[in-house]
Amino acid sequence: MLRWTATLVALLLPVVAAHAQRGGAAATDIWTDRDTIIGSGGPTGAVRIAIWDSGVDTTLFASRLARDARGRILVRGYDAHKRRQDTPMALLPPAVLARADELNRVILAYDDLESGLTSEHVSWLEERRRALTPGEEREFDDAIDRWSGYSHGTGVADIALAGLARAEIVIARMEWWAGSPPVPCWTRELAVREAESIRDLLAYLVESGARVVNMSWGRAERGYLRNMEECAPGMPLDERQSLARFTVDTIRAVLQAGMRAAPRVLFVGAAGNAGTSVETANPATRFEAPNFLLVGAVDRAGARAPYTNVGPEVSLYANGERVPARLPGGMPSFPTGTSMATPNVSNAAAKMLAVNPALTGAELRALLLGTSDRNATGDRLIHTRRAVAAARAAMGVR
């Protein structure tokens, strides 16, 4: 996740101005004609989609929450220190929660900045930052850092459920670190606990009946290295590299084992936004499996996004440009990134299950790839309408 500071905003503003002179975001939109809506009637009950993310504002999805036999919301979570904390959202400091409206407006400004757009939100943010003292700016950045993660899963859930009446969500929550220097500082003990928390969350989602698991995260090696660069600058570089690699390798092994044990489930991960190869970024999700898709991002015209990570592990691409998604509290937003492309694929898979619940994870993956087409750079673009038609045609065929 990007840390939005005064320096980064200052660097982006000239890019925004240049982009605006070229006409702003692409006007062409190929995605409406590729989508389809699934109504309330069908062969089975609701398809369960897991939102494995930073948490979900359940007040926005009251009728779309999966529940157990006693009517309790299906949610499991871990805090930033990798301790069990079964709340649907992180427990933020009251001072941060009190700034919700302001911080949501900051997120809207970032949506526009990421898209290279000028707007009243961008102008407001620039003015807001100019008025801050250095101490206030540090507080502001810390609050934004926390809120960016806090709000992420709510938007992902909105995208995953779009146009799909017969779906409900299971919530798996995990937190990243926050602040500068970050809290917590990374250690081998935390690496082991994080891997164990991921093992537990994956098993919980499968046991809860999730058929599609959305993972708009990657746990990349460079993220752990950045943490230790700030927290433990005195640690020798080779020790930092070794711990980061150990963390990623351990999580990867947990994910691969969990996915092998859940063949009926399709897992969908985000390629990442570093604009590099998946090999260089080295996320824990850098692998291939019959029931796993790693998703890259393209724009509304279907052209590869400059920020998306790429590589042979990235199987499918979807729209990641200004995807409609609400913020906590319900404010509309238009985020950009592979985190948004990923639930577009999860949404397509859930729509396929709504018409053909017998499909396995591997069959969902094969149909999604088989009905895709390619853009000018050879990336496979998802085609939801074709994929749903193929799923329907496969009813009873084995």
**pLDDT tens digits, 99-141:** 999 999 999 999 999 888 999 999 999 999 999 999 999 999 9
Please list the residues that pair with 75 across neighbouring strands.
171
What does the block give as tokens for 93? 């400091």
Question: Which secondary-structure segment (H or E) carries 333?
Answer: strand 332-333
In the predicted model, what is the mean pLDDT of residues 84-91? Answer: 98
Q: What percent of the chain has pLDDT over 70?
A: 92
The span from the CA of 328 to the CA of 106, in Å, is 13
Position 7 confidence tier, pLDDT thresholds 50, 70, 90: very low
* Weakest-pLDDT range from 44-48, 107-111, 335-339, 344-348: 44-48
In whole numbers, what is the pLDDT of the chain averaged over residues? 92
**Four-CA torsion 88, 319, 49, 164, nearest 10 degrees:** 110
The span from the CA of 337 to the CA of 305, in Å, is 9
Checking if the pLDDT of 3 tops 70, the result is no
Annotated domain spans of the chain: 6-393
In the predicted model, what is the mean pLDDT of residues 291-318? Answer: 98
pLDDT of amino acid 41: 74
Using alpha carbons, select from 306, 304, 332 the residue that is nearest to residue 319: 304
In the predicted model, what is the mean pLDDT of residues 304-322? Answer: 97
Cα–Cα distance list, 43 to 312, 348, 392 (Å): 36, 17, 11
What does the block give as tokens for 318? 């979807």
Checking if the pLDDT of 8 tops 50, the result is no
45 by Cβ neighbours in 10 Å (0-12 / 13-18 / 19+) ranks as: exposed
pLDDT of amino acid 6: 41
pLDDT of amino acid 396: 67
The span from the CA of 17 to the CA of 15, in Å, is 5
Position 27 confidence tier, pLDDT thresholds 50, 70, 90: low
What does the block give as tokens for 271? 């390629």
Q: What percent of the chain has pLDDT over 90?
A: 88
pLDDT of amino acid 21: 35
Bridge pairing between strands 325-326 and 380-381: unpaired
In the predicted model, what is the mean pLDDT of residues 90-106? Answer: 96
Question: Which secondary-structure segment (H or E) carries 47?
Answer: strand 47-53
pTM of the model as a whole: 0.94
pLDDT in tens, 223-265: 999 999 999 999 999 999 999 999 999 999 999 999 999 999 9
Question: Which secondary-structure segment (H or E) carries 75?
Answer: strand 75-78
Checking if the pLDDT of 10 tops 60, the result is no
pLDDT in tens, 136-160: 999 999 999 999 999 999 999 999 9
In the predicted model, what is the mean pLDDT of residues 296-301? Answer: 98
Contact between residue 354 and residue 216 where contact means Cβ atoms under 8 Å apart: no
pLDDT of amino acid 115: 87
Checking if the pLDDT of 174 tops 50, the result is yes
What does the block give as tokens for 5? 């500071």
More confident residue, 353 or 26: 353
pLDDT of amino acid 45: 81
Superfamily of domain 6-393: Peptidase S8/S53 domain (3.40.50.200)
Place of tokens 């609400």: 326
Cα–Cα distance list, 186 to 80, 218, 391 (Å): 11, 17, 44
Contact between residue 217 and residue 272 where contact means Cβ atoms under 8 Å apart: no
Using alpha carbons, select from 379, 354, 375, 1 the residue that is nearest to residue 156: 1
Q: Within the chain, what is the greatest distance between any pair of CA atoms? A: 66
